[in-house]
Amino acid sequence: MKLLTHNMLTSKCLKGVLVGYPLKIEVQDLRICEVNCNLDFLIRVIPRIDYPVLYTAMETLGYANDLPSEKPEDYQTNEEFLKKLHHALFEIEIINGNLLCPETGRKFPINDGIPNMLLNEDET
Amino acid sequence: MDTKTTKFIKKCQRKQKRAQHRLVRDLNIEYSKEPTQYLAICNAGLVTGLQREVLEQFIEKIIPNFHVIMPPGKSYCFIDFLSVDCSKEFYDKVHGNLKIPKYNIHFYLLYIKGVNYLEDKIENILPPGSKLWIDFITPEQESMLIESIDWEEQDGNTDSELKHRTVKHFGYKFQYDNNLVDINYPTIPIPKKYEFLQKLFEQHGYGYFVYDQITVNKYLPGQGIPSHIDTHSVFEDPILSLSLGSPYIMDFKYGDKKIELDLPVRSLLVLSGEARYAWSHGICPRHNDTIKTSNGFSTRPRGTRISFTFRKIRKDNCTCIFNHSCDNKSISKITKINNSIAAKLEKSYVHKVYEEISDHFNETRYKQWPNVTKFIENIETGSFLLDVGCGNGKYLFGHSNIFKIGCDYSRGLAQICQNRGFQIVLADSLKLPYKSNLLDVVLCIAVIHHFTTSERRKQAISEIVRVLRLGGHALIYVWAKEQNKNYVKSKYLKCSTKSKKDRKISEEVHFDTTKIKMILPIHENRTEFTHSDMLVPWKHKNGEKVLRFYHVFEEGELEHLCSFFPSIRINDVYYDQGNWCVVLEKL
């Protein structure tokens, strides 16, 4: 699971959960895989992501130094920042771990890179 | 060129590209790079509620001589000008620029090579066994009947459960949950002031029964009634229906036969024989009807329609010859099962099966459907796309300028996606784990037909709508009941290796739980569908068979489901190789 996917996931589907966002991350294994950078695409993605949520995720993974805590104003042209952002969004893959509902603590396991967001019948 | 202009030009080109593809696919009309005397309006037509008169008045102010061609059921239309100069002048003034009064959108135009589409002459043909009596009652009697109903009164015979229309019953109450009538509990008796109608029925030769059940329906513009056949075991033949207030088009269907019938006010429609027992009838929920005028098709805005339907409760079993649609002879339609039983059925006949067949499924389902691919190719750079029920991820492949994610219920299929390097989440399409108002595009290809009840199919669409951003688009494909459209067999039928003689009589599976007994027919592969809800065999390489549940959609059914969501607009509806397809936009 890439951090851009994490940026979109919620546990709002659980009964009684109001926001369910962002999901906390517990990580066991992760993998860095190189991905070609498409700048045009990346610049269009930036306004769509929840930057503080991405930064917190990076912090949890121990990469707080690899990304500024706030999005720079010149993000469209700041090449150094764009490189870092590309790395954070697309190159880090969480392989095993858990996602946690921020309100109930319900664990959603990540196995072999696949988050399991399926619910039991009594949870909906 | 500033960015605003570039953006605008790109938008225009995108609209034109989409239309080019649509026109070739639907009517085999080709676009032209050079100006021609023919123009297509890419984004407005009868189906979007554009009225011929309004359009004609608009064009006339710019170019005086022209002919408008509006194909029924389409979201585009055509203008035939006298010369290329005329059409060029119109194009330059209007394309992406001018707005039509009262119809707050820009027109996107496209030059086309010709208009080979001829406006069909639709006669007011009736389904066999039916009859339409014009001016059956007088305007005075019509007013009396309309005024006789107090819709505000809470008398226990108004049905508040139906959100899409208002209903009152006399004699007996019709139960919409199981489509039956409980004869032990009569409701308010039929008022004396309606007795003159029974006399009128007698005078017209329908006096064989004293009709003891009346349903009064009120339809406001935009409302309708799903296509149905009145339950055979409950009501006798004929069924009489009086139309008041505003003319509406009623849609009749039987197999691949389709008739649109215009019901004038004060007319009496009599359904008997084949029309009563085998043809389904319904009213499409929309604000305008497409009608034939002296100079082509146009739209007619709907008003409030009141209908009085007179029926006689049946005491014996139905003896009709139309076994397919007769509930006295078979139980093949899932009418009402609760959510927990529905979930169990899907667990056994959908989820479990996909786990079992995931590898074989992956080997046989690798090719993208061309029209879905074309849809993806038109998506803007930087968009987020979600494929709900993505299977082996065949649409997650390629297009590096958009970010694609998928979800599926099957672990086996999710693993295949993961191995191929796609972003995949295990999730239920009834409970999507994504933020609301987020995605630019949602695909849902061949998924919704696996849900066992209409409520659950609606829930799946509601989740798609929830996660779409404003202005975002969704493409939904479901399997069509009609596999033999316009006399062309779908690929599914063409692949049949059996001759008709070899076909077995269909088998059935008896599904038993503590609460409910149900019989589901097993479909014979590569043959036409005879039921709406059934089990379809999947043949393993070793010859072993597993059964998957399918609800196949009739024409109009998918749009009807979508019509429950006021926040979406249906931009396109089409039939593609045995599937019904819609393109939705969140507003």
For B382-451, the DSSP string reads T-EEEEET-TTTTTTSS-TTSEEEEEES-HHHHHHHHHTT-EEEE-BTTB--B-TT-EEEEEEES-GGG-
Q: Which residues of A touch chain B, with CB atoms under 8 Å apart? A: 1-2, 4-5, 8-13, 21, 36, 38, 40-41, 43-45, 48, 112-119, 121, 124
Q: How many CB atoms within 10 Å of residue B501?
A: 5
Do β-strands B296-301 and B268-271 pair in parallel, antiparallel, or remain unpaired?
unpaired
Q: Distances from the Cα of B93 to the Cαs of B109, B173, B252, in angstroms?
A: 11, 58, 42
Distance CA A58, CA B554 (A): 49
- Closest C-alpha among A49, A64, A103, A75 to residue B403: A49
Angle, vertex CA B526, rays to CA B524 and CA B531, nearest 5: 50
Q: Please give the structure tokens belonging to residue B382.
A: 């930087």
Do β-strands B166-170 and B213-219 pair in parallel, antiparallel, or remain unpaired?
antiparallel
Q: Distances from the Cα of B169 to the Cαs of B11, B149, B191, in angstroms?
A: 52, 11, 11
Angle, vertex CA B249, rays to CA B566 and CA B528, nearest 5: 85
Question: Going by C-beta distance under 8 Å and a sequence separation of 6 or more, which residues neighbour residue B570?
Answer: B47, B559, B562, B563, B582, B583, B584
* SS3 per-residue string spanning B281-345: EEECCCCEEEEEECCEEEEEECCCEEEEEEECECCCCCCCCCHHHCCCCCCCCCCCCCHHHHHHH
Chain centroid, CA B586 distance in Å: 18
Which of 3.30.1150.10, 2.170.130.10, 3.30.420.10, 2.20.25.10 would CATH assign to domain A3-8+19-104? 2.20.25.10
Strand partners, B549: B535
Chain B residue whose CA is closest to A113: B418
> B187-221: string of b/e by CB count within 10 Å (b at 16+)?
beebeeebeebeebbeeeebeebebbbbbbbbbee
Q: Distance (Å) from the C-alpha of residue B423 to the closest C-alpha of chain A?
A: 6
Distance CA B563, CA B344 (A): 28
Distance CA B522, CA B515 (A): 22
Q: How many CB atoms within 10 Å of residue B474?
A: 24
Q: Are B242 and B308 in contact (CB under 8 A)?
A: yes
Minimum-distance CB partner of A114 among B401, B409, B425? B425
Q: Distance (Å) from the C-alpha of residue A22 to the closest C-alpha of chain B?
A: 10
Q: Do B434 and A112 touch (CB under 8 A)?
A: no
3-state class of A33 per DSSP?
A: coil
Superfamily of domain B339-483+552-586: Vaccinia Virus protein VP39 (3.40.50.150)
Q: Do B426 and A36 touch (CB under 8 A)?
A: no
Count the residues in chain B. Answer: 587
The Cβ-side half-sphere exposure at B311, using a 13 Å CA radius, reads 26
Minimum-distance CB partner of B431 among A8, A41, A124? A124
Q: Are B557 and B575 in contact (CB under 8 A)?
A: no
Question: Going by C-beta distance under 8 Å and a sequence separation of 6 or more, which residues neighbour residue B300?
Answer: B247, B288, B289, B290, B291
Residue keyed to tokens 């007994």: B517
Q: Are B307 and B264 in contact (CB under 8 A)?
A: no
Q: Do B435 and A118 touch (CB under 8 A)?
A: no
Chain A residue whose CA is closest to B414: A114
**Mean per-residue pLDDT over chain A, rounded:** 95
Q: Are B443 and B374 in contact (CB under 8 A)?
A: no
Tell whether pTM > 0.80. no
B488-496 long-range contacts (CB < 8 A, ≥24 apart) are B490/B577, B490/B578, B491/B577, B491/B578, B492/B526, B492/B577, B492/B578, B493/B526, B493/B527, B493/B528, B493/B578, B495/B526, B496/B526, B496/B527
Chain A, chain B: beta-carbon pairs less than 8 Å apart = 79
Q: Do B425 and A21 touch (CB under 8 A)?
A: no
Chain B residue whose CA is closest to A122: B340
Q: Please give the structure tokens belonging to residue B314.
A: 């049946």
Q: How many CB atoms within 10 Å of residue B143?
A: 12
What ipTM is given for this predicted complex?
0.97
| CATH class for the domain made up of B3-112 | alpha beta
Q: Are B437 and A48 in contact (CB under 8 A)?
A: no
Chain B residue whose CA is closest to A121: B340
Q: Do A5 and B423 touch (CB under 8 A)?
A: yes
- B436 vs A contacts (CB less than 8 Å): 12
Where exactly are the structural domains of chain A?
A: 3-8+19-104
Where exactly are the structural domains of chain B?
A: 3-112, 130-319, 339-483+552-586
The CATH fold of domain B130-319: Jelly Rolls (2.60.120)
Distance CA B312, CA B289 (A): 31
Minimum-distance CB partner of A8 among B401, B424, B434? B434
Write out chain B's pLDDT in tens, 587 residues.
Answer: 577 788 888 888 888 998 998 888 877 788 999 999 899 999 988 888 888 888 988 999 898 888 888 887 788 999 988 889 999 999 999 998 888 777 778 899 999 987 765 554 334 578 888 888 888 999 999 999 999 998 877 665 565 546 567 888 898 887 776 667 777 777 888 999 999 999 999 988 888 889 999 999 999 998 998 888 998 888 999 999 999 999 999 999 887 788 889 999 999 999 998 899 989 999 998 899 988 776 777 889 999 999 999 999 988 777 777 766 777 654 444 555 778 888 888 988 899 888 888 888 888 887 899 999 999 999 999 999 999 999 999 999 988 889 999 999 999 999 999 999 999 999 999 999 999 999 999 999 999 999 998 889 999 999 999 999 999 999 999 999 888 765 566 777 666 554 443 344 345 555 554 445 566 778 877 777 777 888 888 887 777 788 899 999 988 889 989 988 989 999 999 999 899 999 999 99
Q: Phi, psi at residue A91, to the nearest 5°?
A: -100, -15
- A122 vs B contacts (CB less than 8 Å): none
Q: Do B434 and A10 touch (CB under 8 A)?
A: yes
